[in-house]
Amino acid sequence: MKKHSPLVLLLVCLMVFSSYRPAEPKLPEAGGIKWMTWKEMQEAQKREPRKVFVDVYTDWCGWCKRMDQTTFVHPEIVKYLNENYYAIKFDAEERESIRFKGKDYKFVASGNRGYNELAAEILKGRMSYPTSVYLDENMDLLFPVPGYLEPKTLEQVLHFVGENVYKQMTFDIFQKDFTGKIK
């Protein structure tokens, strides 16, 4: 067997690793959730106020990817979100500054990674992924819901917030009588 020089092996490794690109966040396909940026959502709020759903994720989060592949493609979830909410797909490690409600939120380096200050604020400092965050029509934080959500569970929370039931009762009480379309 012929031996390869260390220089050849180094060049091959450099070529392979230099072509690597991290996966881009999965944005809407035709008929999917109409994901928006923070800026787009704020502009849309001026024309038609709605509640806001924020999917807080990271590119390394396995449960976030699973939610993209299962929950966020379910037809009932897609339909309800698109009709009743503005939806934002938000990478908690976003390095670009985000202007939200007159304030600039920046990236904070932390260890090997970091986080965007807006993620820390809407997650109330509990950096857990995925987390679904709900804002009212004034873009005020209602609450975050950490963890992976099956379509049936997300359907319940979307209706609980979307129909303002959260103002009248607890989620536990609402959940007992809720009959959604997802079984």
Q: What is the pLDDT of residue 15?
A: 41
Q: What is the pLDDT of residue 48?
A: 98
Q: Is residue 142 a contact partner of residue 134, using CB atoms and an 8 Å limit? A: yes
- pLDDT (average), residues 42-65: 98
Q: How many CB atoms lie within 10 A of CB 16?
A: 9
What's the chain's average pLDDT? 88
The set of residues, in sequence order, having a beta carbon less than 8 Å from that of 57 and lying 6+ positions away, is 25, 64, 67, 68, 89, 90, 91, 92, 129, 130
| H or E stretch at 107 | strand 107-110
Q: What is the pLDDT of residue 20?
A: 36
Structure tokens at 17: 């690793």
Q: How many residues does the structure list for the chain?
A: 183
| H or E stretch at 68 | helix 62-69
The predicted model scores a pTM of: 0.83
Confidence tier at 183 by pLDDT (50, 70, 90) = confident
pLDDT tens figures, 98-155: 999 999 999 999 989 999 999 999 999 999 999 999 999 999 999 999 999 999 999 9
pLDDT at 17 over 50: no
- Domain residue ranges of the chain, discontinuous segments joined by +: 24-177
pLDDT tens figures, 29-50: 457 999 999 999 999 999 999 9
Confidence tier at 27 by pLDDT (50, 70, 90) = very low
Dihedral sign of CA atoms 14, 18, 19, 25 in order: positive
Confidence tier at 23 by pLDDT (50, 70, 90) = very low
Q: How far apart are CA 87 and CA 70, in angstroms?
A: 17
Q: What is the CATH number of domain 24-177?
A: 3.40.30.10
